[in-house]
Amino acid sequence: MTLTRVLLKNRNLLSKIKKYFNKDIAIDLGTANTLVFSPGQGIILNEPSVVTMQKDFQNEKRVLAVGKEAKYMLGRTPGNIVAIRPIKDGVIADFEITQQMLKYFISKATQKNSFIRPRIVICVPYGITQVEKRAVQESALSAGARSVHLIEEPLAAAIGANLPITEPVGNLVVDIGGGTTGVAIISLGGIVICESIKVGGDRLDESIINYIRRNFNLLIGERTAENIKTNLGTALCIEKDNKNLSVKGRDLVTGTPKTITLNRFQVNKALTDPLEEIIRTIRLALEKTPPELASDIVDNGIFLTGGGALLHNMDLFLKEKTGLPVSIADKPLLCVVLGAGKTLDHLDLLNQITIK
């Protein structure tokens, strides 16, 4: 065996060993879903950010289910079981439950080598406070992390969308998540301007629930509202669309189960207010943008990421309202976690964008 072949064989062996022991992970700790990325493996976990707790006869709580199993229980639990979303508007609302949820997800993601403490990159909304930052870090450390790096979601989304964030060029990213929408102007590896509002997928669901309550005297749950948004939701009605959907709920007048039929125009009307809030936020960010970066944005337009990018005609709606070209990123739901995952292989970039 030649020396070259020996060296190549050893290099491949070392690469396999490194891959086996490298359990560093990136986490998109979202209001609606938590995603975990591992270098060399890709997305290894994608589950709802939901935890169900059960009270015993002494009124003490214990975790009953986490993730998909817990979400299925939403709206279907008896009195002694409660389904909780510990992440509210992109930040931790319940520290203890978030800690248990993170511990479950980290354990599940690193179960093959549970004795190895991973380095973890976690994405957080722009403008997170020091208290919220500490809560996220302590949750991850107590859940088994060796070290924790926090990076802002707009930056992670831009990296995941393969934008040239380190170049002196203005990039406008609109990341519409479950709890928040971040509008960021990014250049030279940093956020120049960012406006964030607590409007996202959950707010769209809430608007649908309120619209149906007001106009049909019908009460529906979160899962039903999400189904309506997915199947009928549209940001812009540009032509006649006869698509309908049967919706079941409880009649607020008689108290009995009832079924109604919704169409796309009605759902579009229900979403008007939160969509207009997103537009106002984009305009506010553009008003604050330096002229040189504004000229770049005229050429490059808006890059749309997050689950909200999948709302029917969302790109056309933003184009009509802003006059800018709009591009939807490949895999918009995964942009944040994929961007965070890329930083694990580029330590210089990670150190540059980590929140201090």
Per-residue pLDDT at 174? 96
Q: At residue 244, does pLDDT exceed 50?
A: yes
For residue 15, is pLDDT > 50? no
Instruction: Write down the pLDDT at residue 260.
Output: 96
Overall average pLDDT of the 12-24 stretch: 55
Note the pLDDT of residue 296.
94
State the residue for tokens 């406070």: 129
Q: How many CB atoms lie within 10 A of CB 158?
A: 28
Burial 93-115, CB ≥16 within 10 A → b, else e = bbeebbbbbbbbbbeebbeeeee
What pTM did the predictor assign?
0.86
User: pLDDT digits over 276-322, tens only?
Assistant: 999 999 999 999 999 999 999 999 999 999 999 999 999 999 999 99
Q: Where does residue 196 rank: exposed (0-12), middle (13-18), buried (19+ CB within 10 A)?
A: buried
**74 band by pLDDT with thresholds 50, 70 and 90:** confident
